Amino acid sequence: MKIVLKRLAVQTRKDKELVDITDVVSEVVRESGVKEGVVLVVTMHTSSGIIVTEGLPCLERDVLNHLGRLAPPDADYYHNRFLDIDGRLGFNADAHLKSILGGIYAIFPIHEGQIIKGSRQRIYFAEYDGPLEREYCIQVMGV
């Protein structure tokens, strides 16, 4: 069994944004040499996510708008206060909640060296608290 881990950075440009990383994930799978197995994509942050959906700009906006309705930035969150644990002001509870709702990882099978996914599925890094330089990992496991 082969296990390959790649840590990657993404620079987001907006406070809320979906960045298509599908081609990056496919390239990491190709470079790994794994022919049969799985690929895991995971964000390293609690205010971002990994989302899989159809790659259309209108749907990208719909996803962010819907999450914004479910976790609006101006709600009365317990997290939005002085945090004794680290002496900082919490202000981004909505971003954490969007991460929980959208998810932080995606897993796909690999067959004959290719990611097995729907023809319209795209893998996105979801930014909920940007713009920031973020980190995500791609782990390829198999033979």
Residue 137 to residues 6, 42, 87, 103, 123, Cα–Cα distance (Å): 6, 5, 29, 14, 13
CB atoms inside a 10 Å sphere around CB 97: 19
Tokens standing for residue 105 = 């990882």
- Tally the domains of the chain: 1
Domain span holding position 83: 2-142
pLDDT tens digits, one per residue of 47-98: 999 999 999 999 999 999 999 999 999 999 999 888 888 888 889 999 999 9
pLDDT in tens, 115-125: 999 999 999 99
Q: Which two tokens stand for residue 74?
A: 């101006």
The residues near 47 (Cβ < 8 Å, ≥ 6 apart) are: 92, 95, 96, 98, 99, 128, 129
Cα Rg, the chain, nearest whole Å:
17
Q: What is the pLDDT of residues 1-38, one digit of tens each?
A: 999 999 999 999 999 999 999 999 999 999 999 999 99
Burial level of 15, CB count in 10 A (0-12/13-18/19+)? middle
Residue 39: Cβ within 10 Å count = 25
The predicted model scores a pTM of: 0.95
User: What CATH number has the domain bearing residue 62?
Assistant: 2.60.120.460
Residue 138 main-chain phi, psi, to 5 deg: -125, 120
- Find the length of the chain: 143
Q: Where is pLDDT greater, at 130 or 80?
A: 130
Structure tokens that stand for 28 in this block: 């990491």
Enter the tokens of residue 29.
């799978």
Q: What is the DSSP letter of 109?
A: E
